Amino acid sequence: MKKAYEKETNPTAKEIFKTILANVEVADRDNMLICQDTGLPIYMVKVGSKFPVDGAKISAALKEGAKRATVEHPFRGSSTHPVTRVNPQTSVGEGLPIIYWDFVADSDCLDILMIPKGSGSENVSAMKMFIPADGVSVLKKFVIDTVLQSGSNPCPPGIIGVGIGGTADLVSKLAKEAIARPVGSHNHDPFFAKMEDELYEAINSLGVGPMGLGGDVTTLAVHIEWAYTHITQNPVAVNTQCWPARRARAKVYPDGRVEYGF
């Protein structure tokens, strides 16, 4: 964010960056929330093949953790029934918390990444099933159009996560995984790494700027995750992360050690 502030030339945008940076400082100093919408609890879990606890117990513990974070700590109760809109104020319910599982060979570590996701950024998510005849340029246009249409709603500048390939559900998950990557990282595949840079340049030439009020910096990073798809399909998804890009990681080891980080 500091680098983005230095790069920004629009005076109004620079003021917005100053406010954002002051917000971060105050939140750090006073141990307060950086934004009132702490979002939905989302966990990305990697279980090492040598980690000695079964998945059901881990799942139950994550649920309990989400509940305690809401009842005992300042995680806002933002989770509600989709039709009755009844909110149990626990962040736990049918399908919640959201847990994505992965498994790692020859590892004794349980790696838990928590990415709370607010609604301003999640609400502008988009997915479309293109066909191969549409070509690559249409995928890029879809990503750029999505960011443009999002305007101020996702509290830019944040991270634009892009999923390409897979199925309708997998492509959305890939876009979510893309926002979880650290800013400055690139996809392992040179083709998609180049596309990340191209989209980054294109999006930052839109002029949307911080908080959508105009400026040079519309996004801090564009991350792509991809998967093989069907010969007649070309799905693309966009998941936008807002500027706080909150995340917390715990690495748990069999001897009880826990390393915290991001």
* Interface contacts to ligand SF4, rule CB under 6 A: 35, 37, 39, 118, 120-121, 154-155, 242, 244
Closest separation in Å from C-beta 243 to ligand SF4: 6
Residue that is written with structure tokens 């750029």 in the block: 144
Closer CB to ligand SF4, residue 118 or residue 209? 118
Cβ atoms of residues 42 and 98 within 8 Å: yes
Closer CB to ligand SF4, residue 58 or residue 180? 180
Burial (0-12, 13-18, 19+ Cβ within 10 Å), 121:
buried
Q: Which amino acid is at 89?
A: Q
Give the list of residues 6+ apart from residue 64 with CB closer than 8 angstroms, or none. Answer: none
User: Which residue in 144, 141, 152 sits closest to 215, CA to CA?
Assistant: 152
Closest separation in Å from C-beta 248 to ligand SF4: 15
Closest separation in Å from C-beta 233 to ligand SF4: 31
Closest separation in Å from C-beta 98 to ligand SF4: 16
Q: Which residue is nearest to ligand SF4 (CB)?
A: 118
Token pair belonging to 66: 């989400």
Closer CB to ligand SF4, residue 155 or residue 159? 155
Closer CB to ligand SF4, residue 187 or residue 241? 241
- State residue 31 phi and psi, 5-degree precision: 55, 50
